[in-house]
Amino acid sequence: VAVCPEQVATQASVRLTSVAIPAQEMGRRAVELTVTKLAGGAPEEQVTLLAPELTVRSSSGRAPGAP
């Protein structure tokens, strides 16, 4: 299992099960918080949790002999 962009997970010799980090959304929120702070405002939230996305591919599955 890899934490990586989709392109990396699908280009490996075995299609990797991956967890994609929402980098674009993280960047957008970081810019919003920075602009608010530079304008003299206080951000409403100090911690924001963004859900990662798990995509199961060929590199994971049932163990051999598992029911």
Q: What is the DSSP string of 1-67?
A: -EES-HHHHHHSSS---EEE--HHHHHHHHHHHHHHHHTT---S-S------EEE--TT--PPTT--
Confidence at residue 14, expressed as pLDDT on a 0 to 100 scale: 86
CA 34 to chain centre: 21
**Measured distance CA(39)–CA(31) in Å, rounded:** 12
**Tens digit of each residue's pLDDT (9 = 90 or more) over 13-67:** 888 999 998 999 999 998 988 898 899 988 776 788 898 899 999 888 777 777 6
Q: How far apart are the first and last CA of the chain?
A: 22
